[in-house]
Structure 1
Amino acid sequence: MAPTANDMDRFETFMPRLKAIAYRLLGSASDAEDAVQDTFLRWQAAETDRIEVPEAWLTKVLTNLCLNQLTSARARRETYVGQWLPEPLLAGDPMLGPADTVEQRESVSYAMLRLMERLSPDERVVYVLREAFDYPHRKIAKILDITEAGCQQIFHRAKKHMADGRSRTEIDEAAARRIVEEFLAAATSGRTEPLVRLLTDDAVSIGDGGGKVPARTKAFEGAVAVAKFMRGLFKPGKAKRLIVGGSPEVYISSANHAPAVLVVLDGRVIGVMCLDITAEGITAVLNQANPDKLERATRRWEASDHGEPLFNAF
């Protein structure tokens, strides 16, 4: 049965929230779009006049689709070339969803999305719906077809896993931006010492090239190793310009509600560097360079007023 105009309008009302949920669950904007599209197809095929609470019905369908994707994603990651990182979203992207509370902003931060990879599919669903969207355990339990007590246990377990991976104190966005500026100044100074001072002793640097662009398959570990890599990364060189096809522009922007470094060539985003910044220092430098995961960022960048670059890399 073809959907009525009212059916379409009702789905459109819930679509922004569905996309925000799917992105947090999957860490991929393109996969989130596919999940929401599949949810719409099921909405089209359903007898919508019998659905008493459309939001609950749609969330349950979407969640089950995402659970299936999360399960298969674990198998795909085993064959993924190099390190896997989430797809970054630039400032203003509606898929970032609600950002009224600290919990909502943190739930979509690049560092937290990476941490959520350690959760089981059920733990990730419960954590996202509860922490980011304030769903009561009673509703989450119905979505997952489990008891309310079981849902609470899963949530406490997920919270513990997340806390174990993130025990340091965070700082506000203004201070984080200043540290990003200091980081770039240090990285282009040609010296490792200024960078080491900004990094924690156990800092890591991870790059995701997806097999499409050069990226180290293992993380750099430790402040000195990360600092040396960053110094080399920003060191000018003809060979680098030949590899990327020019001299990219470097900007400080925002990705996933935090300051980030964007590398842009001919209007195309070719790299997003997200820094995990805490009061103790920079704990991680997460570099997304896989072109498949930067298409949405490029479209957002093209539509934004981004000002002048800080400098040209290489």
Structure 2
Amino acid sequence: MDEKDFLADRFEQHRGQLRAVAYRMLGSLAEAEDAVQEAWLRLSRTDTSDVENLGGWLTRVVGRVCLDMLRSRASRGEESLDVRLPDPVVSGEDVKDPEHEALVADSVGLALIVVLETLTPAERLAFVLHDMFAVPFEDIAPLVGRTPAAARQLASRARRRVRGEAPAPDADLTRQREVVSAFLAAARSGDFDALVAVLDPDVVARSDGGALRPGAVVRGAAAVAGQAMSFARFAAVARPALVNGTAGVVSFADGQPMSVLAFTITGGKIVEIDILADPERLRRLDLAVLDG
């Protein structure tokens, strides 16, 4: 094995973690892959003979690449008042996918990624690297051009936002599935009261239909139940799935995916529903395994 092959082999050992870091930072599967590839390019042209912890070095490189990408988004004015959901990580209910599991380990539900999208780039970097990957603030500080104490403050602000706005989902996947099944059954039958019964009074539903169908946010059990009844036809063709490791559904029509629904269930009630219905983004997801 020559030196380049040896280096590539060592890089592959860390690829899973690097993709996980990039996904949490960017909320985009394609951009996460781009960030990981950029890390490989930087590694391949850098003398790392003095690097004792290659995994830590690569994590910081990916973090820096993602920070630059987030700042570039902001400078191009890509932030919008319209709802734009992060990419969901979708797999079959009974299919063990180690790659997907690594991406969404530690309960990284779609609702959490939604909240991360509201942070400043520096706050997001500090929180993701420190709270999710145990990178010391001394190593984060140079990436954001701050002192370690200031980097700690960035993470602290982000942590307060996450705790206040990202509900922790129930851990029991079987119970999650029961609640989602009850929601779908009520939507199919047009049972408004049954829908309200499985929704938290302050439930929030976000939908992202893409450029041609601007996103929307609906709040409150009655309003969300009314919306669910109006889309009962999609509930009739919904297939169970895991969306970011929690119970969700994907609906199809004529073999084409129409929407991905991610549910956040807390205390046995649905507190958030995130609906991706952007045709272009749905086509980029690998959903064929669900279309049975």
TM-score bracket, shorter-length normalisation: 0.7 to 0.9
Q: How does 1:1-314 map to 2 (within 5 A)?
A: 4-74=4-74, 75-79=76-80, 82-91=82-91, 92=97, 94-97=99-102, 104-106=105-107, 108-141=108-141, 143-144=143-144, 146-166=146-166, 170-212=170-212, 215=213, 217-235=215-233, 249-279=237-267, 281-298=269-286, 301-302=287-288, 304=289, 306=290
| Uncovered stretches (5+) of structure 1, i.e. residues with no partner | 237-246, 309-314
How far 1:88 sits from its partner (Å)?
A: 0.5
Distance 1:93 1:295 in 2: 22
Contact 2:255 2:291 survives alignment (8 Å)? no
Q: 1:77 to 1:130 in 2, by over 3 A?
A: same
Contact 1:250 1:264 survives alignment (8 Å)? yes
Q: 1:32 to 1:224 in 2, by over 3 A?
A: same
Contact 2:199 2:271 survives alignment (8 Å)? yes
How far 1:141 sits from its partner (Å)?
A: 3.7
Alignment-derived partner of residue 240 in structure 1: none
Q: Percent identity?
A: 31
Alignment-derived partner of residue 242 in structure 1: none
Q: 1:10 to 1:266 in 2, by over 3 A?
A: farther
SS of residue in 1 equivalent to 2:113: helix
Q: 1:3 to 1:46 in 2, by over 3 A?
A: farther
How far 1:148 sits from its partner (Å)?
A: 3.2
SS of residue in 2 equivalent to 1:269: strand
Moved more, 223-232 or 42-51: 42-51
Q: 1:23 to 1:95 in 2, by over 3 A?
A: farther
Distance 2:220 2:167 in 1: 18
Moved more, 176-185 or 116-125: 116-125
How far 1:14 sits from its partner (Å)?
A: 1.4
Contact 2:179 2:268 survives alignment (8 Å)? no
Q: 1:93 to 1:296 in 2, by over 3 A?
A: farther
Q: 1:198 to 1:170 in 2, by over 3 A?
A: same
SS of residue in 1 equivalent to 2:257: strand
How far 1:17 sits from its partner (Å)?
A: 1.0
SS of residue in 1 equivalent to 2:189: coil
SS of residue in 2 equivalent to 1:260: strand
Q: 1:78 to 1:120 in 2, by over 3 A?
A: closer
Alignment-derived partner of residue 241 in structure 1: none
Q: 1:95 to 1:121 in 2, by over 3 A?
A: farther
Contact 1:248 1:265 survives alignment (8 Å)? no
Distance 1:189 1:49 in 2: 65
Moved more, 136-145 or 185-194: 136-145
Moved more, 2-11 or 286-295: 2-11
Q: 1:170 to 1:253 in 2, by over 3 A?
A: same
Q: 1:210 to 1:3 in 2, by over 3 A?
A: farther
Moved more, 137-146 or 285-294: 137-146
How far 1:122 sits from its partner (Å)?
A: 1.7
How far 1:248 sits from its partner (Å)?
A: 8.1
Q: 1:125 to 1:78 in 2, by over 3 A?
A: closer
Give deviations 1:15-64, integer Å, cap 9, x for gaps: 11111110011001011011111222222222344544322332222111
SS of residue in 2 equivalent to 1:118: coil
* TM-score of the two chains, using structure 1 as the length reference: 0.80
SS of residue in 2 equivalent to 1:6: helix
SS of residue in 1 equivalent to 2:259: strand
Alignment coverage as a number of residue pairs: 285
Contact 1:251 1:263 survives alignment (8 Å)? yes
Q: Please report the RMSD computed on the Cα atoms of aligned residues, expressed in angstroms.
A: 2.8
Give deviations 1:263-282, integer Å, cap 9, x for gaps: 13455433110112111621
| Uncovered stretches (5+) of structure 2, i.e. residues with no partner | 92-96
Contact 2:116 2:162 survives alignment (8 Å)? yes
Q: 1:155 to 1:182 in 2, by over 3 A?
A: same
Give deviations 1:194-238, integer Å, cap 9, x for gaps: 1112212222221111125xx4533122211111111011148xx
